[in-house]
Amino acid sequence: MSEENRIRSIHELDLTVTDPVYPSPSDWRDQFIYFLLVDRFNDGNEETPPWNGIKQNGWHENKAGVAFQGGTLQGITAKLDYIRGLGATTVWLSPVLKNRPEPSGSFHGYAIQDFFAIDPRIGTKEDMRALVRAAHERGMYVILDIVVNHTGDNWYYQDDARPVYNHGGKQYEFGAFRSEHPPGAYDADDAVWPAELQSIDCYKRRGAIVNWNDMDESVNGDFMNLKELDLGNPIVLDTMKAVYKYWIKEADIDGYRIDTVKHIEDGAAASFCNALKEYAESIGKKNFFLFGEIVSDDETLRRYVGPRTQGGEQLQALDAVLDFPLYFVLEEVIKGFVNPQVLRERYDRLKRLYADTDASEYFVTFLDNHDQMARPYRRFLHGGANPIQVVLGIGYLLTVPGIPAMY
């Protein structure tokens, strides 16, 4: 996108939709989701060796050592028939928005610098539109992974300090936005965009999370070096709503997976989700799918999904959550480490927690993903399992309650 055509402010947006949109499925439980990390999937070059976890022939080797490997949106479009041939009906993409231009460290896409631009290392806005159009032509859907509560490392604390979380409530001193230009003359790679986020009042400035189990820290602290937004500030919350309405309009997206939901205040998350659902329905997507990442137990997840009669600041607009309680036991059962009784106990627990409804619509089930690979034997689809075990695992997801997702 040329400098003069860049979107700099949410006030420049026209969210009116004139062309017909691709309708949502009537029930997301009929879908099979294929999740991929955009940079690691395919670069569109048929001569490129397939990814197998080993750096080879320059494709998985980068001078910076750790970062971008070359996967693109065009590369994904070229492989849609392959994905559809697996039986998958929905593609869930890792974040595609523009990260900081450094060569390393944010290939995952979660360190956003410009919420209105596609990262040029993976493609363009037209590439994103073309991918979604091609998916829709095949009867498939596209879900984007999005970040609501933080930005990339777009500014630094005073004296370039790296403070840890401050429980006293005091904010650390702001240093400056990372930039080669003065405020008021920032270019596309400077600071953060849209311009509404270029104020220190948009950020909590409490330092980095140390104790991830402390709710105060997890909601108010920086996610490592990613700067925590203050969603209690109406300007910030309205900005994030506008940003993600924009991408529904621009690319005809079918759903969002919301990152790190438990790091978002309940009220802000509910307001965000409801605004997105209302907008999507207003343009013809009556079952736009919103599901969240909440690494926790069944009792905690129950706060975020279920009947809409719950009171208080519950996340009633989330359609589903990733099924971490199943993830924590399924691999061990399939590999014979744990008695299958734990699965029966888990489903009995769901019957108790969701006695008045069908819990199957509230869970996106999975074997593993780009984050959950820590334990030595927990590499289900990454070379750590016999192929028969992989087939058993995916077959299990396809035949039990929930919306199956494969990484």
Closest residue by Cα to residue 380 from 339, 340, 326, 312: 326
Q: Which letter does DSSP use for residue 403 in this model?
A: E
Q: Are 327 and 297 in contact (CB under 8 A)?
A: no
State the Cα angle at 184 between 183 and 185, rounded to 5°.
Answer: 90
d(CA 221, CA 386) in angstroms, rounded, equals 40
In this predicted structure, what is the pLDDT of residue 52? Answer: 45
In this predicted structure, what is the pLDDT of residue 69? Answer: 82
H or E element in which residue 118 lies: strand 112-118
Q: Are 314 and 303 in contact (CB under 8 A)?
A: yes
Q: Which letter does DSSP use for residue 18 in this model?
A: -
Closest residue by Cα to residue 258 from 95, 30, 121: 95
Q: Are 24 and 136 in contact (CB under 8 A)?
A: no
CB atoms inside a 10 Å sphere around CB 45:
13
d(CA 68, CA 41) in angstroms, rounded, equals 11
At residue 372, the 3 state secondary structure works out as: coil
H or E element in which residue 324 lies: helix 324-334
The terminus-to-terminus CA distance of the chain in angstroms comes to 31
Please give the structure tokens belonging to residue 70: 């070359």
B/e letters for 390-405, b = 16+ CB within 10 Å, e = fewer, are beebbebbeebbbbbb
Question: Where are the alpha helices (H) located in 221-314, listed in sequence order?
Answer: 234-251, 266-282, 298-301
d(CA 250, CA 113) in angstroms, rounded, equals 19
d(CA 401, CA 47) in angstroms, rounded, equals 40
d(CA 132, CA 76) in angstroms, rounded, equals 10
Query: Count of residues for the chain?
Result: 407
State the Cα angle at 64 between 62 and 67, rounded to 5°.
Answer: 70
Could you tell me the pTM of the whole model? 0.93
d(CA 23, CA 35) in angstroms, rounded, equals 21
Q: Are 141 and 25 in contact (CB under 8 A)?
A: yes
Q: Which letter does DSSP use for residue 279 in this model?
A: H
d(CA 125, CA 251) in angstroms, rounded, equals 8
Going from the first residue of the chain to its last (407 residues), give the mean pLDDT of each consecutive group of 10, the final group possibly shorter.
81 96 97 95 76 44 59 96 97 97 79 97 97 98 98 96 92 96 95 98 97 94 96 98 98 97 92 96 97 94 74 66 95 90 97 94 92 56 70 94 95
Beta strand pairing status for 90-93 and 33-36? parallel
In this predicted structure, what is the pLDDT of residue 35? Answer: 97
In this predicted structure, what is the pLDDT of residue 57? Answer: 41
Q: Which residue spans within 147-248 are E strands per DSSP?
A: 150-151, 155-157, 174-177, 227-228
d(CA 111, CA 105) in angstroms, rounded, equals 9
In this predicted structure, what is the pLDDT of residue 388? Answer: 86
d(CA 107, CA 96) in angstroms, rounded, equals 10
Please give the structure tokens belonging to residue 86: 């697996």
In this predicted structure, what is the pLDDT of residue 62? Answer: 44
